[in-house]
Amino acid sequence: MNQTIIALAINGIVFGLIVALIALGLSIIFGLLDIINLSHGDFFMVGTVFAYTTLSVLGHFWPALIIAPLIGFALGALIQFSIIQRIKNNAALSIVATFGLSMIIQEIVRMTFGAAPKRIMPPITGTFGMFGIEYEWYRIFAAIASIVAIGSFFIFLKSTKLGVWMRAVRHDRDTATTMGIPTQKVYLFTFGIGFAMAAVGGVIAAPITTVDFRTGVDILPFCFMAVIIGGLGNLPGTVAAAVLLAFLEGVISGFATPTIARIFSLVLMSSVLLIRPQGLFKGLTK
């Protein structure tokens, strides 16, 4: 029993890191463009499909880690250019537009990839002993890969010119524009990066979950909750909230069914929203 809980808790942390990767993209799109992106879960789903396709076409899993973010970035920029730019950062309209987009993405995947859920084998097999349990190597790899991706995103945001631009636009759009920052280009990059990060998350998660055109619908509320509980615009808070939520859910599912664990974490979340709507971590990071 004890060992099961440890395993579930670690599973939770691993999954939380992947969710954090997706939620970060959601958070920057939300913070910079004022877009409530209901298709963000589907960006993740597209990542899992890339992983499956790469494995079946090239015979290897690893190229997907490069291919998925590149295509994801291009698709994200295309979506921003053709749709999001035209609705002028209106949050209510963005809900309709991204809901439509979500339908289109899911339907295209269903047309080309098929409606039946599929599984792929982890590229790293084997287990090792830890706290008296046998744990899969691949999940450890997934955690490390997510940490690397999250870390490089923060480094990008802190120390590249584009990252500084992104932070500046989020801070004050009008001043940033008058200072000569090409706001439109920043929007384009932001959306592209958001899509790319969700796609990487999808590739990493593909061997752990199933590859299914509906995956995005299930993961989306979770990502939104991480963004809100971490505090709007608080990126490290988002990461912490995602990991914390998934960890708690993992631990609780050791005692009850996964559905009841989900209910517990949702109740917890609503109390956080009511008591600290500014986010759990406000005042800790700044």
Place of tokens 């859920």: 117
Nearer to other proteins, 10 or 227 (CB): 227
User: Using an 8 Å Cβ cutoff, are 146 and 239 in contact?
Assistant: no
The whole-angstrom separation of Cα 245 and Cα 225 is 9
Contact between 33 and other proteins by CB under 8 A: the answer reads no
The residues near 10 (Cβ < 8 Å, ≥ 6 apart) are 135, 139, 250
List the one residue from 13, 67, 110, 154 that touches other proteins (CB under 8 A).
110
Contact between 200 and other proteins by CB under 8 A: the answer reads no
Contact between 18 and other proteins by CB under 8 A: the answer reads no
What is the footprint of other proteins within residues 205-244 (CB under 8 A)? Answer: 217, 221, 224-225, 228, 232
Taking the complex as a whole, the smallest distance from the CB of residue 97 to other proteins amounts, in Å, to 5
Contact between 282 and other proteins by CB under 8 A: the answer reads no
Q: Using N-to-C axis directions, what is the helix angle for 161-171 and 2-33, rounded to 10°?
A: 80
Contact between 280 and other proteins by CB under 8 A: the answer reads no
List the one residue from 38, 181, 193, 198 that touches other proteins (CB under 8 A).
38
The whole-angstrom separation of Cα 202 and Cα 183 is 29
Taking the complex as a whole, the smallest distance from the CB of residue 1 to other proteins amounts, in Å, to 22
Contact between 106 and other proteins by CB under 8 A: the answer reads yes
For 220-246, b where at least 16 C-beta lie within 10 A, e where not — what string?
bebbbbbbbbbbebbbbbbbbbbbbbb
Nearer to other proteins, 58 or 103 (CB): 103
| SS3 letters across 133-146 | EEEEHHHHHHHHHH
Q: What is the token pair recorded at 225?
A: 């909750």
Contact string 64-83 vs other proteins (x = CB under 8 A): -------------------x
Nearer to other proteins, 86 or 119 (CB): 86
Contact between 104 and other proteins by CB under 8 A: the answer reads yes
Contact between 273 and other proteins by CB under 8 A: the answer reads yes
Smallest CA-to-CA distance from 12 within 259, 208, 230, 249 is with 249
Stretch that binds other proteins, among 13-21, 166-174, 235-243, 272-280 (CB under 8 A): 272-280
Stretch that binds other proteins, among 103-111, 143-151, 173-181, 192-200 (CB under 8 A): 103-111
Smallest CA-to-CA distance from 167 within 197, 189, 195 is with 189
Q: What is the DSSP secondary structure assignment for residue 128, as one 8-state letter?
A: E
Q: Which amino acid makes up residue 51? A: A
The whole-angstrom separation of Cα 282 and Cα 278 is 7
Taking the complex as a whole, the smallest distance from the CB of residue 259 to other proteins amounts, in Å, to 5
For other proteins, the binding residues (CB under 8 A) are 36, 38, 83, 86-87, 90, 92-93, 95-97, 99-104, 106-108, 110-111, 217, 221, 224-225, 228, 232, 257, 259-260, 262-263, 266-267, 269-270, 273-274, 277
